[in-house]
Chain A
């Protein structure tokens, strides 16, 4: 459904754009319908840039992004199928207007022919799909609603369209532990309807909870990619190992895995091509055989 081929993004920086920074380097992956793929990386690894390129918010420097065989176009038809939700629900809404105005905007743009009563029914059905009580959220201003409610309003907005792919960029990082799980469970249910989700996060435990496949991004390149169970159950790249060892867990002390700095390959500062270490499990580490 969604396919990225050797996507590279360079940003021009400096006073006259004289220097450039490579934020994303030759990234290729696919997201199939009904599949949750998580993209994990630390701050500055380029994970949000990938999301923004898929949404057509930033142009691609090299490579191609196609959706159902057609390239990204920032137009009405494209956004009918692909929608994005971002980290801060309070800045996603215009505080001056009531929150349900986003639904009217969808109606005006995409469904001008639908009658008012029918549209109301559709909105209420979408709200119930995301476990919201329409009476509690319609007609309210953003500040009157909680972060979890606002994020679910945005998911409901996406459901009103004929959505096939949702780019979820850190959508739960501003939510509480208990609300966070509700939103994740909701995404898991929507997946059964054939919705593909690209789940971008820096939180490893949230990433593993949902995703079938996981990609680990470091400095703009994918260093490891495969089924979630094999990437986290049997991490091959030293960076993935280090990330996993840094996750605080209940009932378990932090263990000191081999730091990345001691990795010979790391010191050379280059990133190799992804090789298939075992079926479906790719890793960008050229010294896999010699690594302890």
Chain B
């Protein structure tokens, strides 16, 4: 097992009280596994990604443990995490456009960045990896502003994985890209795993169709908790949780026309995490909710590797 997260709780401090963004997440990630993490905005998927690498000042680690390669990550301790960042856990941020220092040419930026981690640049290796994602070598002697969005995104991918981290967190990396660039970026990520630059990856996105193409396992989150986790094909073809089913029904596909088949959104909105309701958090929007849903549904393994948190599944 590469990553084991158990009962992880991370709350946000606000003036009104604590927002329970992650409220008891338990899951595992195998060696070489790509986990797609999907859910609506505010379901806690980005919080989970951030918790594994760097919590910002408003976040508080309330409980639970994260074990990466048999070592516990000190996620609540910003300074102790420094030993793990970049070497063991690395992140590709959502807005690669703003992740690059605009005042440095890329070659200098990479050198400075690696030196800050006590490593030297292996130019041959860097160029080999740039070739792999289809970036010309001249890019190193340019400023970030001279690259297109897709090129910047790929450059950030190469830089983030230079020290061969065990776990890579890709947070909405393709959301700002158009379809053809999106495909190139997704393929490059798969290539990274094949070449052994990264061992496993968490791919955070709201695009289920894209996740299906690159992830081995898909985990659906709702209101800070796990709703369903199963192999990608199972989630798409035989989902058990009503939330997953509704989410899949609301996906537009090329060729689906409003005149022929009207897609429906999920009525209602997620509960406030300041004071979440007891029991199943999807209850208020769920078409099949019953009396037992007032109790917290346990995460049950209905089939091998198929975990669902629903009484009715």
Contact = CB atoms under 8 A, between A and B. Distances in A.
Nearest to B187: A254
Interface string B129-151: 00000000000000000001110
A96 B213 CA distance: 42
Size category of the binding interface on chain B: 35 or more
Contact of A247 (B148, B177, B179, B248): B179
Contact of B258 (A44, A210, A232): A210
Interface string B262-275: 11111001000000
Given A202-B178, A248-B209, A181 B264 contact: yes
B299 interface: no
A210 B257 CA distance: 6
Given A243-B179, A246-B179, A254-B183, A181 B265 contact: yes
Interface of B: 40-41, 148-150, 175, 177-183, 186, 206-210, 212-213, 236-237, 246-248, 250-258, 262-266, 269
Nearest to A260: B180
Nearest to A232: B254
Contacts of A205: 251-254, 256
Interface in A233-259: 233, 242-244, 246-251, 253-254
Contacts of A30: none
Contacts of B255: 208, 232-233
A176 B41 contact: yes
Given A181-B264, A250-B208, 14 more contacts: A44-B148, A176-B206, A177-B40, A177-B251, A181-B250, A184-B252, A205-B251, A205-B256, A209-B252, A228-B257, A242-B180, A248-B186, A248-B213, A250-B251
A54 B158 CA distance: 40
Q: Most chain-B CB neighbours within 10 Å: which of A179, A204, A243, A248?
A: A248
A51 interface: no
Contacts of A290: none
A202 B180 CA distance: 10
A147 B41 contact: yes
Contact of A184 (B148, B181, B206, B258): B258
A178 interface: yes
Contacts of B149: 43
Contacts of A233: 255
